[in-house]
Amino acid sequence: MKNIKFLVSLAAVLVLSLVLVNSASAFADISGIEVNGVSVNPDGSDVNIGAFAGQTLPVRVTFVATANSDDARVKVWLAGEKENQVSSERFKVLNGSTYSNVVLVQIPSNIDPSESMTIEALVESKSDGIADSTSVSITAQRLSYSIEVLDANLPVKVRSGDAIPLDIVLKNRGSQFAEDTFVTVKISSLGLEQRAYFGDLSATDQNSPAEKEDAVERRMLFNIPRSTPSGVYTIEVNAFNADSDATVSKKFAVVGASEDTTVVASSQSKNFGVGETAEYSLTLVNAGNKVAVYSLASTSDKDLSVSFEEPIVAVPAGTSRTVKATVEAEKAGSYSFTVGVYSNSELVQEQTFNANVAKEGFSGNATVLLTVILAIIFIVLLVVLIVLLTRKPEKTEEFGESYY
């Protein structure tokens, strides 16, 4: 008997606790809900809302406060996708007041031709928990005609003169057949455009391999001229047919020949005299995968003359070429000059050289020294010759015949 009384008392306490909890949390009652301008009863049972794939639906929740509460908010989401729920800003609720908040809900674009969905809505606060909730049934359907560019994949960096491999994936998101779909690829800043035919797309994948599919992938090669300056560009991919179109944009960088070119100088400083010439050499290394054509130009003082044996040089891919610069000075002094290496009118690299020019030529001193050396050699040879000529020949011993 005591056990029964104890159980009855415990049950009463639990019921009272639940009542108290419910009364504490029920600070508001939802009085109305409106989806995309269509009013629905709070229980959501009187109407089925129509919606389209990818559409953003405004959901207005109206409720009456039955008690004061802090940090209240309205929360809305599609059933099964609570991780994508959206909420209004938090606000204070005053007893007896009526509130109305609008929250935007996104319908997914990747749906079947039609799908039944449910919009869940509730009113809650940090201190009192969930006050009231409701749900509304909707039927989401695809648009009749809708082309989507699922992907447009390209390298983030290309070289001027190369062709961009552009992998494009299209999908028919509409409920009707997409006929004669084209793709235009354009770089507006460069005035470049290319076009390709992607064919027909069905609304859904077909069971038979001979039937059309709802998605297609193609590769386009978009040519970047050699004269394209280095920089970051935007490429636009536009898919279209007679009924719909879609555009996506991607950014990529164009790099010039400087990425693949190395300029090496064997000697950057030389000594010579006025009226003499000195040769400087540069080695151009092309580490790219195409033939590179370089042009050479110099900047120097007016008293220094710089000329090139080959002002324009073609260097095959993966090879190097050495070019020579001839320098001559009108006056003595210390000079510097710069040689610029260009490709497609773009500066690839610069090298600075020094020239120490003496008033008397270094080659003239060398000539005198050579003359003295030759004179010494001549004298030595003359002395040796005299010695050889004046030297008496050695007598040879004669042996007579002996007879026994």
Q: Quick check: 403 pLDDT over 70?
A: no
Query: What pLDDT does residue 11 have?
Result: 47
Categorize the per-residue pLDDT at 399 as very low, low, confident or very high, splitting at 50, 70 and 90.
very low
Token digits of residue 365: 């001193």
pLDDT in tens, 116-160: 999 999 999 998 999 999 999 999 999 999 999 999 999 998 888
d(CA 291, CA 228): 16
- Of 203-212, 286-295, 374-383, give the lowest mean pLDDT range: 203-212
DSSP structure class, residue 365: H
Query: What pLDDT does residue 166 have?
Result: 95
Beta strands in 85-161 (DSSP E): 86-87, 91-93, 98-106, 114-125, 129-141, 147-153, 157-159
Token digits of residue 51: 């919606």
d(CA 209, CA 205): 9
Domain 23-141: give its CATH architecture: Sandwich (2.60)
Q: How many CB atoms lie within 10 A of CB 342?
A: 17
Token digits of residue 29: 């009652």
Work out the average pLDDT over 225-237.
89
Output the CA torsion 107→110→113→116 (10° steps): -40
Q: Residues of the chain with pLDDT > 70: what percent?
A: 82
Q: Is 284 exposed, middle or buried (0-12, 13-18, 19+ CB in 10 A)?
A: buried
Q: Which residues, listed in sequence order, are joined to residue 351 by a DSSP beta bridge? A: 339
Look at the block and give the residue holding tokens 């991919």: 237
Contact 239, 149 (CB under 8 A): yes
Token digits of residue 18: 């639940």
* Amino acid at site 214: D
Contact 103, 86 (CB under 8 A): yes
Query: What pLDDT does residue 292 have?
Result: 85
Q: How many CB atoms lie within 10 A of CB 296?
A: 20
d(CA 318, CA 341): 18
Sign, CA dihedral 375-376-379-385, equals negative
pLDDT in tens, 303-359: 899 999 899 999 998 898 999 999 999 888 899 999 999 887 788 888 999 999 988
CATH number for domain 147-255, candidates 2.60.40.10, 3.30.465.10, 3.30.420.40, 2.40.50.180 = 2.60.40.10
What dotted CATH number matches 259-358?
2.60.40.10
Query: What pLDDT does residue 249 have?
Result: 95
Most confident of 114-123, 222-231, 284-293: 114-123
Q: Which residues, listed in sequence order, are joined to residue 237 by a DSSP beta bridge? A: 185, 248
Q: How many CB atoms lie within 10 A of CB 149?
A: 17
DSSP codes joined into one string, 236-299: EEEEE-SS-EEEEEEEEEEE-GGGTEEEEES-SEEEEETT-EEEEEEEEEE-SSS-EEEEEEEE
- 83 or 31, which is more confident: 31
Contact 168, 183 (CB under 8 A): yes
Query: What pLDDT does residue 337 have?
Result: 92
Query: What pLDDT does residue 391 have?
Result: 54
Task: Map out the domains of the chain as residue ranges.
Answer: 23-141, 147-255, 259-358
What is the bridge-based pairing of β-strands 333-343 and 292-299?
A: antiparallel
Mean residue pLDDT of the chain comes to 83
**pTM greater than the 0.75 cutoff:** no
Categorize the per-residue pLDDT at 203 as very low, low, confident or very high, splitting at 50, 70 and 90.
confident
Query: What pLDDT does residue 370 have?
Result: 66
pLDDT in tens, 22-60: 444 589 999 999 999 998 877 656 678 899 999 999 999
